[in-house]
A and B are shown apart, each in its own frame.
Chain A
Amino acid sequence: MTPFPALTSRSVVLPQANIDTDQIIPARFLSTTERAGLGKHAFNDWRWRADGSPQPGFAFNQPANAGRQILIAGANFGCGSSREHAPWALVDLGLRAIVSSQIADIFRNNALKNGLLPIVLDEAVVQSLMQRPDDELVVDIVACELRTPDGHAHRFPLDAFARTCLIEGVDELGYLLLREPHIRHYEEQHHAR
């Protein structure tokens, strides 16, 4: 995994709560055996009409939002299905961070494995950020801070291990493979029975 880059971006706002992974990528796009190229299906049924033309009102179809790397979303983002296709699609869409007052467990785990940073902040802070999508936000992963142009720094929680992995580009599988002696020992202790 490549190290998490310095991130400065304006944001895209999807204010509704409980955006589930079926909305992030509908199940009919899960027949792929690849992980690349799913960005075109991100938020498919909100973003595209049945005839394939863009829904003009949808945030990701606004020309002004093109290239923005931060999504600010309502509470409980990523609930539902465990499909990792959801963060694959969001990263392919160009996103690097999701800001919400609550992010569902499995989605958060999956996001971290794909360099997509889950940023959980108080609901009031999230609401205020939603009002100012054109502010350039600075995500400082070393300090675990999201900074706004008016000088506010909002600390966000980030597991120490996840932070190290993101900063150093460490991949979890590599880390697990190095635990081989421990795994072997566990198996000898527990499976000898």
Chain B
Amino acid sequence: MEGLIVSNVLLWVLLVAVAFAVMGLVRQIGVLHGRLAPAGALMMDKGVAVNEAAPQVTASDRKGRPVNFGYAGEKSQLLFFLSPTCPICKSLLPAIKSIAKEQADRLDVVFISDGDMDAQQKLITEHKLEDATYVVGPEVGMTYQIGKLPYAALIDKTGTLRAKGLVNSREHLDSLFEVEHLKSATLQEYLNSQPHAHDHSHGHSH
């Protein structure tokens, strides 16, 4: 009788633990769903085509220095289009800055914005962007036909537009570099081409 009671207590304790683990797993799946959707930066079917020469334009940054876009150079360029009035843009700034720092040897990050100079100045001091290349003006955005913010475009060393898209999270930003690496225009396109590309030398199994 004693043994049965002990076994019963033990079973209840373990059952509570298992139920707790199941609940935890379900919660984690929920969090994953929140982080996953939508997969990859959303690409609008307009403007400049990916994997073709990026349009060449020169604009001056807020200190008056000229910045070239779309020309061949020593480093790739990441164009980040933002606005002081867009909260998601601000929430992405830390991610952009960390990418700029991590890949400083091969990537120039350019912040492109438009509108009220006081608001720009406030954003720059708030997010410590004093040393960053920061262009204020409509030219670049109009050339690249940016309709939605925050938007990012990646131009490689040869002046070819490698990836572009609406970016709402760090995952979207990373997906831009991923598609550059995979030589597909968008992550969606890469996934769709997968059945024909089994001999792909990179071991990316998504």
A and B are interacting partners? no
Q: List residues of chain A with CB under 8 Å of any chain B CB.
A: none
Q: List residues of chain B with CB under 8 Å of any chain A CB.
A: none
